[in-house]
Chain A
Amino acid sequence: QKEVEQDPGPLSVPEGAIVSLNCTYSNSAFQYFMWYRQYSRKGPELLMYTYSSGNKEDGRFTAQVDKSSKYISLFIRDSQPSDSATYLCAMSSMDSNYQLIWGAGTKLIIKP
């Protein structure tokens, strides 16, 4: 079993819909949680960063961490075709020696 599980998709939704992307993990020591966006043939770029539990909002994006369920989510409101990309979750703990543990990514397609 992988430490971080993420549905590969693709997830296809109409423009304007609310998108929910999720990751589950097995290591209860994880404290740092990140969402990266990766466009085709490009490197990942950081979208959201959360420490420990709770919600964080940035524009149309909201990141949620539920440590009791070992579950993190990224919500995208008013989705746009430009949001079409692969979304990668990554997480780490203080004892991971600088190693981020990555999900395999969910491919998101926003249909105009």
Chain B
Amino acid sequence: DAGITQSPRHKVTETGTPVTLRCHQTENHRYMYWYRQDPGHGLRLIHYSYGVKDTDKGEVSDGYSVSRSKTEDFLLTLESATSSQTSVYFCAISRQGPINTEAFFGQGTRLTVV
């Protein structure tokens, strides 16, 4: 894997609790993304970042917030977890935007909200 570490890899949490997922990269890539993957839906973009402190919403951003205070770290926070946020979350990085350069993915975080 291209220098991307997601933590934790697995988490079970209760409805209503805040949860933070971390993505750390060692590639110094400018762009970072958070996706969720659910059966039948493919990958859906939650938020992305095009630089330190520069972030924007994706297709399914409701209930999620992100922060990027350093090039290497991109945090995804579920403010108050709901069962509909049970999913596999992937972080991805790319040197330029994803439409013209390869995006590299982390191993994923399997989140269960009970």
| Residues of chain A having any CB pair with chain B under 8 Å | 4, 6, 8, 32, 41-46, 49, 88, 90, 92-94, 96-100, 102-105
* Closest A residue to B98 using CB positions: A100
Please provide the 3 A-B residue pairs with the shortest distance between their CB atoms, ordered closest to farther: A43-B105, A102-B42, A92-B99
> B106 contacts A43, CB within 8 Å?
yes
> B48 contacts A98, CB within 8 Å?
yes
CB distance from B42 to the nearest CB of A (A): 4
Residues of B within 8 A of A32 (CB): 99-100
> B1 contacts A104, CB within 8 Å?
no
Which residues of chain B (55-82) have a CB below 8 Å from chain A?
56, 58-59
Which residues of chain B (1-58) have a CB below 8 Å from chain A?
1, 4, 31, 39-45, 48, 50, 56, 58
> B105 contacts A41, CB within 8 Å?
no
Question: Could you tell me the distance between the alpha carbons of A102 and B108 in the complex, rounded to whole angstroms?
Answer: 17
Some 21 contacts from A to B, beta carbons below 8 A apart, are: A32-B99, A32-B100, A42-B107, A42-B108, A43-B92, A43-B108, A44-B90, A45-B105, A93-B99, A96-B99, A97-B56, A98-B31, A98-B97, A100-B43, A100-B99, A102-B42, A102-B43, A103-B42, A104-B39, A104-B41, A104-B42
Residues of A within 8 A of B107 (CB): 41-43
| Residues of chain B having any CB pair with chain A under 8 Å | 1, 4, 31, 39-45, 48, 50, 56, 58-59, 90, 92, 97-100, 102-108
> A92 contacts B98, CB within 8 Å?
yes
Take A88-B43, A98-B98, A104-B41 as given contacts and tell me if A41 and B108 are in contact as well, using a CB distance cutoff of 8 Å: yes
Question: Could you tell me the distance between the alpha carbons of A94 and B99 in the complex, rounded to whole angstroms?
Answer: 8
Known pairs A32-B100, A43-B107, A92-B98 / 16 extra A-B pairs, C-beta < 8 Å: A8-B40, A42-B108, A43-B90, A43-B92, A44-B43, A46-B102, A46-B103, A93-B99, A94-B99, A98-B48, A98-B97, A98-B99, A99-B98, A100-B45, A104-B40, A105-B42
Question: Could you tell me the distance between the alpha carbons of A42 and B37 in the complex, rounded to whole angstroms?
Answer: 12
Question: Could you tell me the distance between the alpha carbons of A42 and B92 in the complex, rounded to whole angstroms?
Answer: 12
